Each structure stands twice: as structure tokens, then as C-alpha cells.
Amino acid sequence: MSTEELNNATKDLSLDEKKDTTVLENGEEFNVKHPLNSKWTLWYTKPPVDNNESWAELLKPVVSFNTVEEFWGIFHAIPKVNELPSRSDYHLFRDDIKPEWEDSKNAQGGKWYCQFKGRREDLNELWIRALLSVIGETIEKDENEVNGVVFNVRKGIVKIGLWTKSCDEEKLRAIGETFKKVLKLGDEDKIEFLRHKDSEIRGAKPMIIM
């Protein structure tokens, strides 16, 4: 599936649709064998064509899953992150949470994020490491503290972000340490935590830097 096909497959979807949606032609091709602890939904933000398009028009749900087999089938069917165009994003969130600051389960939280210049050769590996740690729920000690993970592509940079439901510093530091280990970052590689309520403040300083 190309990014153009992904755009076309999601262009008519609504954020208000109640039913699960999928870009895969045959959902029965996956054998349900290993259920995950939670159900997850993959979202895609397509690049804007003009400035009149709203966030809601650009952000679309792609597919929901709750088994290991479904996850791998989806992962191999969609474009890899190093193939995504600039100003596009992948979001993987718990099924009942939208990847928006305004969602009630995101509103009191924030995000850990790391930033990389250019298109590194290991971006796909970094992304899959992040995905597996989130759906396997191994990145957190407290149940459901992590709401989702995001991959942003911008001009000259990419970001991997981990969204949390709270700003409890003790929990955040534990998650941040694990996040760095998952991505195999060195001591010289910094990650920052920014509260969602500060995200729209120009020049806002991170709550934590590790």
C-alpha cells in the first residue's frame, strides 16, 4: 500500500464513525491467536493540500486491532515511516482515545518526544521498537498510563512522541527512562516531556529533560 493509497482509503472516513474501519481488503486473513491486553487504533494524518483543511479533515482512523497477528499484518501492509511524506503522521492510540489534546484522557497529560534530523536509516526500527513497547505495555509500570505513540514527519526532522494521561513526575521519569532504552538512545541523546496545556504556548519550556 502506497501513501497515495492510504490517503485515498481514509479520505471519506469520519472521526465520528462508531464502527471499526480498515484499509485492509480482507480482515479475515488474520488468525486470532494472541490477544493483546488492550485494543488499539492506528490513525493517519495526511499532508494538507491547502490551508483551508481542518485538523479533523486531515486526521483519519485507519484500522483497529487487538491481537498480535493483526498488528503484524497491518504493519506490513502500510507504508513504512521512512516512506511517509512531509507533514504527515502516524498515531497509534488506545481504541477509546483520539490523538488530540482535547480528548478527556489526554487533557491532563503530555508527551515524551525525541527529535531526529533528516531521514535516518534506522527510523523504521526505532518506530517498531516504540510500537511494540506500547502495545505490549512494557514501557510502563502503571496500567494505562501511556495513551499512545506518534510519529511526525516535518521538513528536515522527524519526531517520535509518547503520550501520557497524567503529568505525575515520578511516573513520567520511569516511563522516560524506559523510552530511551527502548529506542536505544545514548546519554547524549535527549528526550523532553511537554505538557499538552503548554503545547500552544510559544517558547514553552519542557517539564522534564532526560
| pLDDT for position 119 | 77
pLDDT at 1: 53
Q: What is the pLDDT of residue 20?
A: 41
Say what the pLDDT of residue 10 is: 43
pLDDT in tens, the chain (210 residues): 545 555 554 444 333 333 343 444 444 554 447 999 999 999 999 999 888 888 788 999 999 999 999 999 999 999 999 999 999 999 999 999 999 999 999 999 999 999 999 878 899 999 999 999 999 999 988 678 999 999 999 999 999 999 999 999 999 999 999 999 999 999 899 999 999 999 888 888 999 999
What is the pLDDT at residue 87?
94
Considering its fold, how many domains does the chain have in total? Answer: 1
Between the CA of residue 100 and those of 19, 56, 59, 183, what are the distances in Å? 19, 10, 10, 24
Owning domain of residue 97? 3-209
Give this prediction's pTM.
0.84
> Grid coordinates in use for 4?
497515495
Q: What is the pLDDT of residue 8?
A: 54
CATH number at residue 15: 3.30.760.10
**Beta carbons of 111 and 11 less than 8 angstroms apart:** no
